[in-house]
Structures are given as C-alpha cells and as structure tokens.
Amino acid sequence: MKRTVTCSLLVCLILPFSQVCGQSNPAVEVGRPGKLAFKEETVGVVRGPGFKAESVFMGTPLVLDEAYAAKHDLPALQAPFKVVVPKDNNLYFLPGGKKTGVPELARLSIATEDKKAVEILRFVTMTVPLQRTSEDRLVVCANLLATKALPQITSNYEQARQLDLYVTRIRGNDAVCLVAEMVKPGSGEAYWVKTVGVMPANSENGVMAFFMADKQLSEIKTQADLLTKGFSQKVIHSLEFLPVTTVADAPSSEGSKSASEALRSWAGTAAQARTTSKEVAPSPGNADSLKALFEKYHAALMTQDAATAALIVRDLLPDETRLQSAIGGGATPEIWAKIKAFHDQLPKTDDAALAKLLAAKPAQTMVEVHGATTEEIAQYAVGSVAFAEFPGATRDLAKAGILKPGVTFFEVEFLEPGAEAGMKYHLFYWDGASWSMLGPVWRAIK
C-alpha cells in the first residue's frame, strides 16, 4: 500500500482517545436507546444454489498487533486484530502513532486521481464493559456511539442527522452500527457516515471503525447500500481479532519491549535465552501461529516494511543447535556438513535479500500451512497430507532417518484466492523456542 497522502485528501476529524476510545464506564441507562433491531450486512457474502459463504475478500492483510503498536509508538493494543485491504491504485494508508501524528490506530483512504476523498476509514480502540447480558452490552455500545462518537465525528459539519442504529454480526462478533449523514460547510459536499463498534464476546476491549463516504463519488448511493457496498465496509467485515499475548507467553524484560521482542512474543516464540537472561517457558508451536507469522510477513512485504519482513525471515534461519531439533541420526557427518553449508550460504545479514527470501506474488494473499510428522512423511500414504502437500524428496529424507523422528514439519503455501496451487516453502518446525526452517535441503545432499 502507498504510504503517503496529500493534505488535500485528509478531512480533519480528530477523536481524542480519552473521550471516545476508552469509555471504561460510560453513563448509560440499560434499555435506552431501546431494543436494537438486527440487520444482516451482506458485504463479502457469496450465495449460490444450496450454499452460502461469508467473509469472502481479496486483498492484502493488515495486522494491527503488539509489533505494529511498538513499531509506530502506539499504546499497547488490548484487542489486536487484522483486516484485509482490497487493492486499489488510489489507496492511501497512514499508520497511527506518535511518529505520524495520526490519532487513530490506522487510517485508510480511497481517492480520485486528483486526490479528492471518496472514502476515509479509521480504526480506534474501544472499551465496552461486560454486562449482565449480551443485549445489555449492545445497548451500552449503542449509547457510546450515539452520545460520544457521533457528535465528535459530525462536529465540523452541517445538517448532521442520525439515520439508523442497529445490531449486526462481523466474523462471529457482535457489532453495533450507527448510520448518519452530514454536509461539509461551504462546499455542500454530502457524506454518508457509519460508525461500527465490534466487540469480542469475552473481553471488554474491542475496536471502533468509522468512515465517511462521499455520496456523489462513492458507490454508496442510498442508505440501503450501507448494508452491501463500499470499500470501507469490505475492510470492516474482514476484521478478525487475534489472540492477546499473555505474560506467560511474552519475553521477560525490564521496561518497554523493543519491536523485535514484541514480534517474537506475538509469534509465539519465547526466544528463550536469546532475548532475556531470565528463564521463560517456551510456548508450543502450532499451525495457527505459523500461519499468522507468515500473514504478518506477507503484510510487511506488501506495505514495503522490509525491516519487519527481514526480521521474520532471519528468526526462521536456524544455527547448528536449532538444526539438531530437526535432523535425525541418519544424517552422516558428510550430510551434516552439506546441510550446514546450505544454511550458511543464505543471506543472513543482508536485510533486502532476507526480506524477499520467502516472498510470494502480491496476488497470493492466502496463507495455508500443512503439517505432518516424520513418520507420516516416511509412510507417504495416498490421500494423506504428506502425500498431497509434501515434495517426494521429503519422503526420502524421512525414510533415511535424516528427518528427526517425532517432529512435526510444515509446508507453508501462498495462494491466490480460489487457486489450488501457489508458492510453497518447505519443512518448518518448532525448535523448542521458536519457528525454524529446514528448507529444501535435499537439493544440497544429492
């Protein structure tokens, strides 16, 4: 995504975090604004004879988590999340934080060729205390949107009018939507306004997304379109909350974490002894954390964040000690020497080369991981994951005892949405403290 935006594109709309984003005890009388109607929003819903698929989106993942907050000097995120950003030649992205001066977590804009805003989407944190029932909590959130958020969003505009307030679901989470309209003084430009509060079921921490869309320039022409159309709504409906890093999972340190430490803890790597002198119990590696790590890597590449991409890849390249977690007793000294030579020739100090070492095409936005044990790879049974996803050369490594028994290895694949095959990288494993990559070592030991 492009990282610059002209001043003419930005509409001044400042929401102080203390006033809107952190309403820890909003004044609300349960029962007001009244029982909220449920409306299904069909953005990203595909239907056909006998089937229905939800949250179908194509684009680039944007991950807002602990590493994102550390990098952009934002407060710690209590509700980390990711969204999918559709591709558009006139897309502008600004991260929030002290470095940019943007008060939100992130700001996404779509503009015309002459930089006139079509839609502007913002994300901020939101706190809605848990209530006796989920319905009561929806009322609290609705009151927050109506009495706190909307007045500030529309404060510099004329003819501001609330049009609707209802409940919907976004990727399995409760959400409250407030729809309004307003007019820019002087120019007469009219805008749709929509504010969405998305709340995980078991946490008071959530996300507020709000956008304004030019009634003339955007594809949202009627109020009904706010249920089905719009760039901003595609992004909002792709929103998925991520696991929150716990104290037990995070590296122990004095003071604030560096971006590198934040990235390690988010990815599930305890980085035992490599980032702290205190003992930390390593978190077990699992397919979900490996997938999330590669989604983060792809997002870094798409936003031209070479530093983060290089950091992720560098952490995957094992030294001899970490290789011992993957290599079995069948590896002779000669084979060991070839495997080490294979890894020694990888560009471990060149950030530009490292960042692209595991790259995929921009359109290959989907990440899939496929796991199989050494024993399953050696068996290579027809119809198994090993047979379907692992190269035949890995079977030879497993049968020869070069792959360590009892280890689960993973293939990581980048795919275009709907495609059955894409770019694949080989033999990732959990080394006891972090993810490591053995790679296509069969090429070195032939």
User: Which tokens sit at 202?
Assistant: 């078991």
**Cα separation of 21 and 26, whole Å?**
11
- Taking alpha carbons only, the member of 64, 127, 60, 118 closest to residue 96 is 64
Cα 106–Cα 109–Cα 111 angle in degrees, nearest 5:
165
* DSSP E strand boundaries for 41-80: 46-48, 51-53, 60-64
DSSP at 441: G
Query: What is the pTM for the complete model shown?
Result: 0.51
**CB 159: neighbour CB atoms within 10 A?**
12
The arrangement of secondary structure in 7-241, i.e. its CATH architecture, is 3-Layer(aba) Sandwich (3.40)
pLDDT digits (tens, 9 = 90+) for 245-284: 543 343 333 333 332 332 232 222 222 222 222 232 334 4
Per the CB < 8 A criterion, the answer to whether 219 and 229 are in contact is yes
- Quick check: 178 and 195 in contact, CB under 8 A? yes
Residue 254: which residues within 8 A CB-CB, separation 6 or more? Answer: none
Q: Which residues pair with 83 in a beta bridge?
A: 62
How far apart (Å, rounded) are the C-alpha atoms in residues 297 and 183?
41
Distance, CA of 231 to CA of 235 (rounded, Å): 7
CB atoms within 10 A of CB 237: 27
Q: What is the pLDDT of residue 194?
A: 96
The domain ranges of the chain are 7-241, 284-443
Task: Let me know: does 61 contact 299? Beta carbons within 8 Å.
Answer: yes
Residue 57 has what pLDDT? 54
> What region, left, alpha or beta, does residue 163 occupy, with left being phi > 0 and alpha being psi -120 to 50 degrees?
alpha
What contacts 140, CB < 8 A, 6 or more positions away?
26, 28, 30, 128, 129, 131
Which stretches of the chain score pLDDT less than 70? 1-35, 44-58, 245-285
Q: Are 194 and 205 in contact (CB under 8 A)?
A: no
pLDDT in tens, 391-413: 999 999 999 999 999 999 999 99
- Please tell me the predicted confidence (pLDDT) of residue 285: 66
Cβ atoms 218, 119 nearer than 8 A:
yes
Instruction: Identify the pLDDT of residue 242.
Output: 92
Tokens of 19: 């006033």
What pLDDT is attached to residue 129? 85
- Please identify which residue in the block is written with the tokens 């070195």: 444
Distance CA 56, CA 352 (A): 33
Alpha-carbon gap, residue 245 to 389, rounded angstroms: 31
The per-residue pLDDT for 225 is 93
Within 13 Å and on the Cβ side, how many CA atoms surround 86?
20
Supply the pLDDT for residue 5.
Answer: 31
CA pair distance 180, 203, nearest whole angstrom = 28
What's the pLDDT at 88?
A: 74
